[in-house]
Amino acid sequence: MSVTPTTSREWHLVARPHGWPKPEDFALREAAVAEPGEGQILVRNIHMSVDPYMRGRMNDVRSYVPPFELDRPMEGGAVGEVVASRSDAFKPGDHVLHSLGWREYALVEAAHAVKVDQELAPLSTYLGVLGMPGLTAYAGLLEVASFKEGDAVFVSGAAGAVGLQVGQIARLKGASRVVGSAGTDEKVKALVEEYGFDAAFNYKKGPVAEQLKQVAPDGIDVYFDNVGGEHLEAAIGALKLHGRATLCGAIAGYNDTVPQPGPHNMISIIGKRLRLQGMIVRDHQALQPQFVQEVGGWVRSGELKYRETVVNGVENAVDAFLGMLRGENTGKMIVTF
């Protein structure tokens, strides 16, 4: 029988980063573990997610999610084991997905937890291929970009959690061509040799527009944007008549202290009747059952491969987050306690 400790380590944001976050902007602190009240569960976290959107929550600006509070535990996706419960919905030993990561033990409102089954899939996958990034890829490609069979697709950030899945879903759904960009030669090689991309390029090795022209000489129908900046401008140039783009992320600018200028070729959006649409994954929850069924099936059959980069130890969570921003991950970056 596991004994619940009296203290838990948790990460606090102690200073708002200006530009790239520094380790001193964070502190790992001990806090008392509280007993669950009525309707609450106490969860021992096993895996937590570090995601690019967390960088935005470190800024004190209005956005689609509120900023992290200073000197309070940060939050984010986590999967753990229920160790104490005052909810009829959960019992000790159950595994749950919830949003109070960045700490060893979390006191969670039962209404905000979702049961997950490690018999169906490894627990970490509920933070990646079968979780929020997976649904982002699925909804962003199929619903937002209105992907259809025969489309030629370009995805940036292609070797990351979302990107790796976008390219493979496009392939499985009958894309005529799937191309991607990533930040190392190893990632580029893996995209083609392991994940079924037709071609890929290292965006650090030359102008994106020129490299995109080489891998997609006939242009693209769909662009899935994880990066923004130069990638978006290049994609606008490569999109064909009535092309569509999902604006999912703009990680190239997340640590900028001065906003980047917008694409210089916006006028071609008019002539080519392009549709560029922003997305936030939580607007697409209605797709969740279909996503779990279809992507879960592909994962089980091996048709869709996923990858995780795992960092061990709660004390290394900030390093994992910063490493993810620097591109040290292939697939989903996970912290395992």
Ligand X SMILES: NC(=O)c1ccc[n+]([C@@H]2O[C@H](COP(=O)([O-])OP(=O)(O)OC[C@H]3O[C@@H](n4cnc5c(N)ncnc54)[C@H](OP(=O)(O)O)[C@@H]3O)[C@@H](O)[C@H]2O)c1
Determine whether 168 is exposed, middle or buried from the number of CB atoms within 10 Å of its CB (0-12, 13-18, 19+): buried
Q: Is residue 90 within 8 Å of residue 51, measured between CB atoms?
A: no
Terminal CA-CA length for the chain: 19
Choice between 214 and 260, CB closer to ligand X:
260
Region of 134 (left: φ > 0; alpha: ψ -120 to 50; beta: rest) is alpha
**92 token code pair:** 């000790």
**219 token code pair:** 């242009």
Choice between 83 and 320, CB closer to ligand X:
320
Least separation in angstroms between CB 320 and ligand X: 11
Least separation in angstroms between CB 200 and ligand X: 10
Q: Give contact residues for ligand X (rule: CB under 6 A).
A: 51-53, 133, 136, 157, 159-163, 182-184, 187, 203, 226-227, 248-249, 251-252, 279-281, 324-325, 327, 329, 333
Cα–Cα distance between 308 and 164 in angstroms, integer?
Answer: 11
Least separation in angstroms between CB 128 and ligand X: 9
Choice between 203 and 337, CB closer to ligand X:
203
Least separation in angstroms between CB 337 and ligand X: 20
CA distances from 296 to 63, 68, 299 (A): 32, 32, 5
- According to DSSP, the residues that pair with 98 across neighbouring strands are 78
Least separation in angstroms between CB 51 and ligand X: 5
Choice between 41 and 188, CB closer to ligand X:
188
Choice between 81 and 230, CB closer to ligand X:
230
Question: What does DSSP assign to residue 171?
Answer: H
